[in-house]
Amino acid sequence: MAYGVLIESMIQAKNIDALNRSVKAQIDVAGGGLLALTAPTTQGDDVWTAAAPATGNLGGLWIAYNPEVKYISVNGKKFAGLSADARDYTNLAGEVFDAFKPQIGDEIVITAECVASADVDDVVAGDFLEAVNGETTFARVAAGTGATAGSTAFKVEWVGSVDFPKANIGIDKVKAFKAVCVQE
């Protein structure tokens, strides 16, 4: 199974610590996944609780970075170093990982796995990618419709491909989208 991958094109969180959080979710979250965060309630705890966005809370979302520690979970055991392909890894449920708060003008590149499978083939430049209830993936909104008011939304600048190593020898070209944050 291939997981979504975030390529940090130009995001303000790289330079502003306040736009970064350590989070933990009860679900696996791919790099590029959208998250609603809840602040910790224990003094001294800096790990926020992350969950899939829900109706009424589709704005002000955070985005998961790719896993820093690359583990694959098999039968409850974690193994490292099994693949050079970033798509083989996800932020595992119950493990701490990093997320950032997108700001208007931030640019990201995400692989097709970060977009709802029903929408991925229809995305074209000018469309919007935004949050949807109960999912960490982006949903497509046609350019003519415009982004939904109050949602975290990105406008697609281009649809292209990025390269990942194949399991053996060679390069795998993977569909990707470059998008700019238009609504936080």
pTM: 0.92
105: which DSSP letter?
Answer: T
What tens digit of pLDDT does each residue of 107-136 get? 999 999 999 988 899 999 999 999 999 999
The arithmetic mean of pLDDT across residues 173-183, rounded, is 95
Nearest to 66 by CA among 47, 49, 87, 48: 87
Binned at pLDDT 50, 70 and 90, residue 1 comes out as low
What distance in Å separates the CA atoms of residue 28 and residue 25, rounded to the nearest whole number? Answer: 7
CB–CB of 170/163 below 8 Å?
A: no
More confident residue, 183 or 73: 183
What distance in Å separates the CA atoms of residue 132 and residue 140, rounded to the nearest whole number? Answer: 9
